[in-house]
Amino acid sequence: MPTDTKSALLMTAERAARTRGFDGFSYADLAESVGIRKASVHHHFPTKAALSVALMHRYHADKEAACARVDAAEPTGGARLLALINLYREALDGGKSLCLCVSFSTSRESLPSEVTAQIGRFRMMMIGWLEATFEVGRCDGTIAGVEDPAAEAAATLPLLEGAQLAARAAENPAIFECGLKLLRQRLT
């Protein structure tokens, strides 16, 4: 059996939000992509606000699972951080898209307050993972020059997100690489 309609809508909506922004797609767009009518989209997600909450919820769970997989696959702090950088590069999709967190952060006014709260929780989760990763890297020596893991974590997430935003604005992934060069040089 093919993917059910609700999942197809979530997938299509996430891609659209990440490439064109939350205001950049409409129920009409989703309907056409999935092959149903506008009214049917409203059956699955009564309002666009409800859709945004569902998207962010799924995104948080997905990324948290991805970080756990990185921890399981990579023993060193340096390798883990490199894996996260790679995830952000992949999300950039050659300069055409952003991660959902950055995309939603830029659409603040159009989103319900619940999504604002979800964004905050997502960033806290990511910074927590980064802090633990820098701590591991400090101990095993695979990340150079770490003195304050919490401060490193608080700086690394905005760097990743800002580099992604700049690269997408120019539709040029090289900008992402330039921004991350310094950090990458610290990894063994």
Partner DNA sequence: GTCTATATGTGGATAGAC
Partner DNA sequence: GTCTATCCACATATAGAC
Interface residue list for DNA (CB under 7 A): 5-6, 25-29, 31, 35-40, 42-44, 46-49
Q: What is the rounded CA–CA span in Å between residue 160 and residue 64? A: 17
Tell me if 77 sits within 8 A of 135, measured CB to CB: yes
The single-letter DSSP state of residue 125 is H
Q: Name residue, tokens 């974590």.
A: 153
Tell me if 145 sits within 8 A of 134, measured CB to CB: no
Residue 34 main-chain phi, psi, to 5 deg: -85, -20
The answer to the question of residue 154 lying near a second copy (CB under 8 A) is yes
Structure tokens, 96: 């055409």
Q: How far is the CB of 18 from DNA (least distance, A)?
A: 16
Tell me if 104 sits within 8 A of 111, measured CB to CB: yes
Q: How far is the CB of 51 from DNA (least distance, A)?
A: 8
- Which of a second copy, DNA, none lies near 129, with the C-beta cut-off 5 to 8 A by kind? none
| x/- map, 11-30, a second copy, by CB under 8 A | ---------xx-xx------
For residues 13 and 157, which CB has a smaller minimum distance to DNA in the complex? 13
Please give the residue ranges that form the binding site for a second copy (CB under 8 A): 20-21, 23-24, 102-110, 116, 119-120, 123, 145, 148, 151-152, 154-155, 157-163, 165-166, 168-171, 175, 178-183, 185
